[in-house]
Structure 1
Amino acid sequence: MAKPHDFTARIRWTGNTGEGTSTYRSYDRTWNIETEGKEIVACSNDPMLGGDPSKHNPEDLLIASLASCHMLWYLHLASVAKIVVRNYVDDPVGHGESEPDGTGRFLSATLRPRIEVPKGTDLEKAEALHHEVHKYCFIARSVNFPVTYEPAFIEV
């Protein structure tokens, strides 16, 4: 039987410039993620939609969450499989589209981790683990677009 989990966050709009949403340009598309006991994350809308490019937007956070979840499960599975990972860096990319009316969606995502392993590591086994992660990762199991993997292994 599946065990239920609840995940919480507080989203607080910070973009009221004094007029609320009285006009389209009267407010900023900014907010904070204020999860109790954790650091505040300042966010903004995507720059294509007038957001602050120096802040994370929902699309950044989705791709980062997907890649982070994958990484954590990969590290776990590598440990169990006796694959020693010395470093892991991912530069994931989400591929999306926007319609003329402003609606948009993700079409796919590609995870591109660069993983350092000791010389002599079974690289076939190490790569195969990436395809096992999708069975476990909450985020990967929840998105409705395909996720592919392009890992690169560096033997050190």
Structure 2
Amino acid sequence: MEHHYVSAVVWTGNRGEGTASYRSYDRSWDVAVPGKPVIHCSNDPLLGGDPGKMNPEDLLLSALSACHMLWYLHFASDAGIVVSGYEDNPVGTGIVEKSGAGRFTAATLHPRITVRPGTDIAAATALHDKIHGVCFIARSVNFPVHYEPEFLFEA
């Protein structure tokens, strides 16, 4: 079944001269999806972007983490594992080649998952192994995705 997603990316970095020179414009834009808040973005700070705004690398890594989380919650629910908290601090590793082209070489997810006391942690951990086969984002990237979960028990 094919389905489509829509977005509008609007460059906001014209300082009045457009791209008259390499330094005459900002690397900033807005992402607008109908009915959703606008996300103000900029280039990676390593490339002169605004560190206070999301950049493409932030967005990709966040999408990967969110997709993994949503599938984890689904599989946990199916398995009778009650999750009451989930947060992740993913880390993406990238390289810039001599040509100036960059790419991700790997990502590691670090989910902290809160479960009920008595939860089978081995079973809860094993759920992660199923996710890469179904997560839309993970199946779409061309770099390895690793995970290092930590489990906490509800107080």
SS of the residue corresponding to residue 124 of structure 2 reads helix
C-alpha separation between the residues in 1 aligned to 2:81 and 2:132? 18
Picking from 58, 61, 65, the partner of 2:59 is: 61
AA in 1 matched with 2:95: E
Q: 1:102 deviation in Å?
A: 2.0
Q: Scaled by the length of structure 2, what TM-score is found? A: 0.98
SS of the residue corresponding to residue 21 of structure 2 reads coil
Unaligned 5+ runs, structure 1: none
SS of the residue corresponding to residue 80 of structure 1 reads helix
Tell me the residue number matched to 2:78.
Answer: 80
Superposed counterparts of 1:43-54, under 5 Å: 43-54=41-52
| 1:62-82 Cα shifts (integer Å, max 9, x gaps) | 000000000001001100100
Tell me the residue number matched to 2:130.
Answer: 132
Tell me the residue number matched to 2:32.
Answer: 34
Q: CA RMSD in A?
A: 0.7
Q: Scaled by the length of structure 1, what TM-score is found? A: 0.97
Q: 1:99 deviation in Å?
A: 2.0
C-alpha separation between the residues in 2 aligned to 1:99 and 1:36? 36
Picking from 96, 100, 107, the partner of 1:109 is: 107
Picking from 148, 151, 154, the partner of 1:153 is: 151
Q: 1:136 deviation in Å?
A: 1.2
Runs of 4 or more, structure 1, over 4 Å off, are none
Unaligned 5+ runs, structure 2: none
Q: How many residues align?
A: 154
